[in-house]
Each structure stands twice: as structure tokens, then as C-alpha cells.
Structure 1
Amino acid sequence: MAGLEFNFGNAISHYSKTGGPRGFLWKYALVFGLVTLAVQAVAIWLQWPIYEMYLRMITEGGDIESHASEINRMSATVGFRGLWIMPLGILSWVVFEGANQRRYMRGDGFSLRLGADEGRLFIVGLIWFALFIGLYIGLIIAMFVPLLIGVALGQAGAMIGAIVMILSLFGFVAVALWIAARLSAAAALTVRDQEIRFFESWKVTKGKGWTIVGAWIVLFLIIMVVFVILYLIAAALGFGILGAQVPGLFEGNADEAAVSAAITSPAFWGPLLLVFFFVFLVQAAFQHIISGPAALAARTDDDWAGADLAGEFV
């Protein structure tokens, strides 16, 4: 991209400097939100018996002990159905990641497709999955080995082991974030070069890893503030609806049956679902925005002679 350098400020704001037709972000967020809502609806439909049982338990007074055996039996049966939703989740990821990276690397407008880019991104996703398993194993080692050594040394050693475990945990998180940052351009490179690129990201992000991590942290803190505000709005809305429907709720003398009926009514869930749908939209926008730092690293690769893109979108 002409005149665009890789630095902290550009990494954070790269989503707004991709070039191409305007309106990508809101279209991406809206369609992503609708697809996420549809996938969640299918998941609820597949596991509806367990949800129905919990609703019945609430309306009958919330006695979980009398429903314990039924919950265990139903969870084992219905939980397996939840695995059926995985193909939909994977399909959703590859098509949106394809649209995401085509915007960054080619300046395309918003469109969803299932083609060669998506097939290559699926392989990249599998490599990430294997890497996450390795990192998870490393996390277990980082947490428990120091603690086990400390326990073996006695009471004083247990305290030392706990301290070492905490320090090693922080160290592991820092290293894991750095590794993730160094490999984070894999999807962008795969779409850019139209070939599977994963470990090539290590070279492209040389000297840029901690800048990418810093950008991620800042963006994550911003989105966390937004989420907290949205959840506070949802909580205030929920309590407001219940307070209007259930006399004596805030005085502590509300009727349990009235509370149960209000919680399970469409008048309670309808407005909250609108708020949570907006949460999906924000989550979708964040998914695109946080890809920006790695995509900028791929766009500013000195060894890439790609065409420059100009312009911004809103």
C-alpha cells in the first residue's frame, strides 16, 4: 500500500486503510452476526431437550437435585448432538476469513464464496489447531511441573513451586503470544500468494512480533470495555423488565412463581436477544479489525511486489 509503513499506529488502524469499495466493515459485521445467530439457533435446536429441561426446572422452583439424574442422562445424549454443529462452525470460519483476507490483501468489497482461497485457509486452520494443541500441552507443563517439584521438596518448597508456577505461566503466555504474532500473517500470506503459506509468516513478521502483540492487547482492551458496557446494558435491561413484571422484586418479597414466569417469557428474552445480537455484530467487527496488524505485516513485506491499493473505507 503506497506510503503505508508498518508501525504501531498503522497496525491498530489498518482495518480503515485497506482500500477498496466502502462499506465493508458494516456489511461484514451484519452478515457475520446473522450467520452466527443462525448457527446458534441450529445448536439450540439440536440441544433443545436440555434447554427445555432447564426451563422446566426453573418454572418448577429451581430444585436441581430432583432433576440431577435427568440432567446427567440428557446431557450425555444431547451433548453428542452439539458435535454436529462443528462443520457449520468450520464452514463459517473459512468463508468469513476468506472475505476478511481478500479485503486486506486485494482491497475487495464484501462477498462470501467457497473456493480455492477457502480450501487453502482450511488447511491453515488445521495447522493452527495442531499448534494450539501443542501450546495447550506446553501450558500444562508450565503450570504443573514447577508445582510438583515444589511439593516434592516439602512445605517450603510448595510455596516456592507455586511462585515459580505463576512466573512460568506469565512467561508462557508472553512466549505463546509472541509465537502467535510471528505466525499470524499465515492466512494473509495464503490469500496474497494463492498458495498455502504458514511458516513463511515467521520471516515476514521478523522484527514485528512485539508490535503485533502490543496492537492486539490494545484492541483487546478496547473491545473488552465495549463488551462490559453492552453486558451492563443487558443486565440493566433485564432487571428493568423483571422489576416491571414482578412486584416486590427489589424489596426481596417477590413470588418465585412470578419470577420464573417472567424469566421464561418472550417479553423478557426478546429485548435481551436484540442486545446480544448487537454483541455478535461488535464481535464480528472485532474479528476483522484484529486481523489488521498481521495483514499489514504481509502487505508491507519487502519481498512482495504486489500492486499498491489506495483509499480508505468507512
Structure 2
Amino acid sequence: MGRYYPHLSLEERRKIDKWREARMPVPEIADRLGRAPSTIYRELKRNFYSDEELPNLNGYYALTAQAMSEKRRAIHRKMIVHPELKVAIEDRLKAGWSPEQIAGRMRLERHPIRVSHETIYRFAYSKDGRDKQFYRHLPEHRRRRRPRGYRRHNRTHIFDVQSLSHRPERIAERSEFGHWECDLMMFRKEHGKVNVTSLVERASRYAVVMRNEDRQSKPIIESLIQGLSPLPADSRKSITFDRGTEFSAWKHLKAGIGADAWFCDPQAPYQRGTVENTNNRLRKYLTRSTKPTALTNRYLRSICHRLNATPRKCLGYYTPAEVFETKLMEIQHRSE
């Protein structure tokens, strides 16, 4: 476990002030305070008072140093100093935005008062944030910060498919629009066989969600065909699946909308990282305890609208909807 280095106190700064006045060497000051010499050097440099009009007043003063230090630390407490900023951030979190998306969008829109995503997390897990249970608004709703785990897949697999290893590089690099990733989201068994297809375009991260009555492959693939057919052909070139049996009717895609099907390796969901990430976001609204009666088309469309209207770091903090619409317009202009 690493050592803990607390900030210098006012009492320590008073001692530094007195000993510097007596011209005591920095190493000796550090030794007396039980601090590293670098800490004292850094303190003298950062909190040195300088007055251009009255240079004879330049020097290190304990009270001034304490005030300068507290002012710098207040930068990380913007959400307390500016309550209206905290309210705006809280509203965005409630709308499903992550701290990183909020901070990135602030930079993109050039807000006069901005915060980093780390500042938001620090506030959420600070004493003030915990008192207000601010962590409940974070994407993971965790009481403590911890690394994310991963989901294990235990399924029967299909074979005789186009392996991801043969997929063109332009798709893997997201340099071409119109390539999607697909997965199923399941719910508790006592709620029946109803599930949801999650579909994400790789370049824009634009998400589409559709309800299925069961896991039979042909109806699921037909639903995909029906959902994507209104789009231009150049915006639905391929779909990447895992090897679950619910996608065994994949050959109908080519005949239905002319889209190729690619399959990741067994037990390798990370090869479809885009849809896996989207599923994590969707789980905020579609928990495993969700009842099928709640999965109306109107409700699913409202969830998609929220996801697609949320800025993404990988898109330069533009939203998936903004990027998706731009790509569709480019296709339209090319066809004219």
C-alpha cells in the first residue's frame, strides 16, 4: 500500500515562515517537519508572495501561503462554490450522461465554468456528495469507486459463419459508415421469453433497440431486416454478431437487405465492444427485473433517443444522432 501524504497545515506553514526568516536550510526544515525536502521546495515555490509594485514585500508568509493553497484547492470544489453548476450536472446525470460526457460537452460548448469528469467523481464520493447520495446519479450507482468487471457468456454456439478475422480492415478501423454490431439483452426467466435486440452503428455509435417475443432466430433476423430496410443501402452494409444460436438465421440478411454478417470468436464479447458498451448504458433503463409490459415501442424509442442525444468522448463530444444524421446526408449528396 502506498504512503499517504497529507497537505501542509497552517501550523506547519507558520514554522516554515519562522525558520525561513531565521535562514534555516530547507533540508533541515524538512527534517524537523518530517517531510521530504521536495515538499518544502515546492511549497516555497507555489506559495511565494510576489508584489511588482512593492518588491521589498516579496517573501513567504504563512497566512498568505495558506490562503493561496485553499484557493487552488477550491478549484476542485466548483460544484460547491457554484451550486447552479451542481444542479446542471445533476440534471445531466439523471438524463443518463456520464461524468466524462458532461465534462467533454462543456468543453465543446465552451462553458465559462467547466469541470473535469474527475471533479464530478470526486464530488460524488466526497463527504458532501455522500451526504446527498450523489453517487446514485452516476451510471453504475456504486457507493464506492471500483474497476468494472466483465460479463461471462455461457451459450451454445453456431458455426459455419464468416469469422471476424476475415472482416476488412476498414470496418475494424471504423473508417467506413454503415457497419453495425448486434446483441440480445435478456431478462429474468419469470418474466417470460421476451428480450430486446440492441443494434449499434460502429462509426457513429447510433443505437436502435427492438423488442422480441422470444429467442427464435428467424423472427429476430426478420425484425433486423424490417428495422434497417428504410435506411439507404450504404448505411447498412454489415452486422457483427456473437455465435449465439439466436443469430443462426443470419443468411437471410443478405437476401433481405444486402448486408453481410460477421461473427466474433466464441467467448469473446470484447470483439463487439461497441454493442457491449451500449448494453451497459441500456441496463440503466432496462434492468434484468424489467417486466415485458414495460417494453412498449414508445418506451424503447425514448430510451434510444436519450442514448443518441448523449455526447460521446469518442465522437469529440458530438452526439451519435448528430454524427449519424451527418453521415446520412453525405450518402444522400453522393447519390444526387
The question of a shared fold, defined as TM-score above 0.5 by the shorter chain, is answered with no
Q: So what's the TM-score if we normalise by structure 2?
A: 0.20
**Which of these two proteins has the greater Rg computed from alpha carbons?**
2
Instruction: Identify the structure with the greater strand proportion.
Output: 2
* More helix per residue: 1
TM-score normalised according to structure 1 size = 0.21
